Structure 1
Amino acid sequence: MKIKSIESWSTRYICMVRVRDDEGGEGWGQTAPYHADITASILHRQVAPYALGESADDLASLMRRITEREHKFPGSYLRRAMAGLDTALWDLRGKREGRGVCELLGGVARPLRVYASSMRRDIGAEDEAQRLLRLRQRHGYDAFKFRIASECGHNRDEWPGRTQEIVPAIAKALGDEADLLADANSGYDPSHAIEIGKMLNDHGIRHFEEPCPYWEMEQTEAVTRALEPLAIEVSGGEQDCDLAVWRRMIERRAVDIVQPDICYLGGLTRTLDVAAMADTAGLACTPHSANLSLVTVFTLHLMAAIPGAGPYVEFSIEGPDYYPWEEGLFAPALVAEEGKVQVPQGPGWGVEINPRWLEGADHLISELGA
């Protein structure tokens, strides 16, 4: 089966991709969010020319071919566009075989434990603690992630003292009955991150995400080494889209937990490569899925199948006031019950793209022979 056409529907925030083969099969995927109209242009200019007419089945070879043909453009935008093609081809394959993607990978569609992931830094300690408590009562979450530092903050906080306030407040409200995770989003230099890591550990927080600028791997590695005697683990990798960087990160054990993002990295196929590297090294894989677009659907399928999967899946708790663009993208919607989310069931990804959303998006198509 050969790839016959690649279509995109995009807004500034999100881009859906449909692939059709020469036997009438079709599948849906998604690029990474944000500046998605730019990503759509790259999909048609730098990805589609190498994919049209190629096999719809040999995804590893196809992703490698695109990477090599566009070797002068090794950065994020190309990988984001590749993710749209790759995830659509996985959906196409699943629909053709009548199986879910997790089943194609050897897994079973089942409820998976999730952690409630807060994205907000504009919220005070007590308000955030009470918000998470309400969500625990409503959805049964037993794991929560909250934000510390200021994003890429050079040791600054969102406002002075916020981290020192929110850590004990969250720990007091939830700590005895929940796993707690803290995300610094590249906020600290190594010495400051080490001190923050010790404070987190003292309050029973066992997961310290992206403590240092993610592009400075040696800084993160220094924090990981310094905190090794403690119970807390350092995680990272969500931004990284180069497999050679991933190989070096895992070989150096720069983090304790790897967090690839399927849409940032270039799709499920390349994420499986990272998960396999991590499993060989004995590192847990807990991917980044920070919004309720298709990236969380993709991640649920992945986590239901891979060896070395971490104990939970990231599940955003933010609604339309924070992510207005993620409303009405697909059905059925993902819902947390008793702290778990069901891996969507049915062929492919197990969801259907909302046709009304497509009507409001910009459409482009690349076709074989056109």
Structure 2
Amino acid sequence: MPASFSLTRRAALAGLFTAAATPGSMLHAAEVAATMDELAKIADAPVLQLDFIKQPVVVESIELLRNGKHWLLRTRSKDGLEVITVPHQDKMALAWPLLLKTVIPAFIGKDARKLEELQWQAYRSGSSYKMQGMLLWIAHMAVETALLELMGRASGRPVADFFGGRKQSDIAVYYASGNRGNTPAQEIEHLQKLVADSGVKALKFRLGARMSRNADAPPNRSEQLIPLVRESFGDAFTLYADANSSYRDAKEAIRIGRIMEEHRYAFFEEPCEFDDLWSTKQVADALTMPVAIGEQEYSMHRWRWCIAHRAADIMQPDLHYGGGFIRATKVARMAAAAGMTVVPHMSGGGLGYLDLVHFASFTPNIGPHMEFKGNTDLPVVCSTSSLKCENGFVRCPDGPGFGVDIDPAFIAKAKVVNP
């Protein structure tokens, strides 16, 4: 056990969550220590299970397409198979030069079954690693998704089979509000409309003023809103709150966290500036309520440090920002070794929420609710799921690959984006 971890905190967390522990509960009854070396072995271990794909799946081409504000990838194998996948919709407007010039070339002519090795080679190629950051890993996720879909369609197997198989099909979700700057009363009205008739039993709203160095928007909104949301939605609702790096120092974050604890919140997301892991750890050590971190993290070394030193209690890899399903699975497995759950951040617009549903379907130490920000406006069809939140759940699509298809007429109108 790292020497800096608080035994008092371990006892408090165990006592707080043992009584209500269920499969997928936020924290296990007993926390487990994991050393940096132990976690390194987990991070270095292969993830994908591909023994059932007997023949090579050679990548002939990967094209980036655009139809208005929407981006697509069209990937073809040398055997003539063609698949369409959906990358990060908002950030691709910035990431596409990296995707086309740096990432895609490393995969052309290669066997998709060697995806994990190819990812490392693409990272090294042309000193690409020197550009490490969100945009580079968004580009990697775009190609990873395409090759998983290609192999899924080639083998007739769902993507979960590459990660050990599906554990659950119906994924409980929580609605997340993106509001700041409104009054507490206005936010309550918004939250009530957001969850109306959805059947969800959990929600998340925003505190502070995003990277504001302790300012609130407007002043005292957070102190008023935290108890008001609990009063308005009652004890049956699971409540989360996201500070988006609002607090410059641990002291102010702890003050806000104490108010959340008083009103029985389930986690406090990103209280301090996202790359200030040390202040976040101070907050996590001081509170009995779980602290969540990681939506903007892309370094496997920092993930390992966060988990080994318990910088937070819940790990939140973003599938797109962090580089894909494989890397997020490595984070989840390291977290499991330390007795932690994962509650991934959802981004991407497009089909980002379905990426998250797929990840939750095969990850054993997944949290109780996944983030949901509404349905896609892409013309997507699926025979095994409505792709909507129904009675608080989203059904994970079944079938080969990711189990969804984009309207061919929409694809036909898309134009190829050239370097």
TM-score by length of 1: 0.90
Alignment match, 1:8? 64
User: What letter matches 2:394 in structure 1?
Assistant: V
**Secondary structure, aligned partner of 2:280:** helix
1:89 is matched with 147
Contact 2:182/2:218, CA 8 A, preserved across alignment:
no
Would the alpha carbon gap of residues 353 and 327 (structure 1) be closer, same or farther in structure 2, given more than 3 Å must change?
Answer: same
1:11 and 1:36 in contact (8 A); partners too: no
Q: Is the contact between residue 217 and residue 254 of structure 1 (CA under 8 Å) also seen in structure 2?
A: yes
Q: Choose 163-172 or 11-20, whichever is displaced more.
A: 11-20
Q: Distance in 1 between matches of 2:265 and 2:290?
A: 9
Q: Which residue of 2 aligns with 1:155?
A: 214
Alignment match, 1:298: 355
Amino acid at match of 2:330: D
Alpha-carbon separation, structure 2, partners of 1:146 and 1:219: 22
Residues 326-341 of structure 1 mapped to structure 2, 5 A cutoff? 327-332=377-382, 334-341=387-394
Q: Tell me whether 1:278 sits opposite 2:328 in the alignment.
A: no
**Is the CA contact (8 Å cut-off) linking 2:306 and 2:312 kept in structure 1?**
yes
Pairing 1:22–2:78 present: yes
RMSD: 2.1
Do the aligned residues in 2 keep the contact of 1:114 with 1:312 (CA within 8 Å)? Answer: yes
Which amino acid counterpart does residue 263 of structure 2 have in structure 1?
H
AA in 1 matched with 2:79: E
**Aligned equivalent of 2:24:** none
SS at match of 1:83: helix
1:251: how far off?
1.4
Shift of 1:123: 3.2
Q: Which residue of 2 aligns with 1:266?
A: 323
Letter in 2 for 1:330: V
How far did 1:60 drift? 1.0
> Structure 1 residue 363 and structure 2 residue 405: aligned?
no
Q: Is the 8 A contact 1:278 1:285 kept in 2?
A: yes
AA at the equivalent of 1:71: Y
How many percent identity over aligned positions?
A: 32
Provide the residue aligned with 2:281 in structure 1. 221
CA gap of 1:16–1:109, structure 2 versus 1, over 3 A, is farther
Amino acid at match of 2:137: R
Give the corresponding residue for 2:137. 79
Cα distance in 1 for residues equivalent to 2:104 and 2:348: 27
Letter in 1 for 2:308: E
2:72 match: secondary structure: strand
Contact in 2 for aligned 1:115/1:142 (Cα 8 Å): yes
Q: Tell me the residue number matched to 2:15.
A: none
What CA deviation, in whole Å up to 9, does each residue of 1:132-162 have, x standing for no partner? 3344441111000011111111111121121
5+ unaligned residues in a row in structure 2: which ranges?
1-56
Match of 1:113 in 2: 172
Q: Could you tell me which residue of structure 2 aligns to residue 104 of structure 1?
A: 162
Write out the 4+ residue segments of structure 1 that deviate beyond 6 Å after TM superposition.
none
* Structure possessing the higher radius of gyration over alpha carbons: 2
2:183–2:218 Cα contact (<8 Å) kept:
no
1:131 to partner: Cα distance: 3.2
Q: Compare 252-261 and 16-25 and name the one that shifted more.
A: 16-25
Residues 88 and 348, structure 2, Cα contact 8 Å, conserved in 1: no
Q: For residues 157 and 199 of structure 2, what CA distance do their matches in structure 1 show?
A: 30
Per the alignment, residue 200 of structure 2 pairs with 141
User: CA offset at residue 13 of structure 1?
Assistant: 5.8
| Equivalent-residue separation in structure 1 for 2:275 and 2:111 (angstroms) | 35
Q: How does 1:31-110 map to 2 (within 5 A)?
A: 31-69=87-125, 70-105=128-163, 106-107=165-166, 110=169
Tell me which amino acid in the other structure corresponds to 1:157.
D
Number of aligned residue pairs: 356
CA contact (8 A) 1:287 1:299 kept: yes
- 268-277 or 144-153: bigger deviation: 268-277
For 1:26 and 1:359, how far apart are their aligned partners in 2? 14
Deviation at 1:287, TM superposition (A): 0.6
- In structure 2, the CA distance between the partners of 1:355 and 1:161, relative to structure 1 (3 Å rule), is farther
Give runs of aligned pairs for residues 181-192 of structure 1, distance below 5 A: 181-188=240-247, 189-192=249-252
Q: Structure 1 stretch 212-221 or stretch 24-33: which is displaced more? A: 24-33
Change (3 A) 1:361 1:226: farther
State the distance in 1 between where 2:183 and 2:412 align: 39
Matched, 1:343 2:400: no
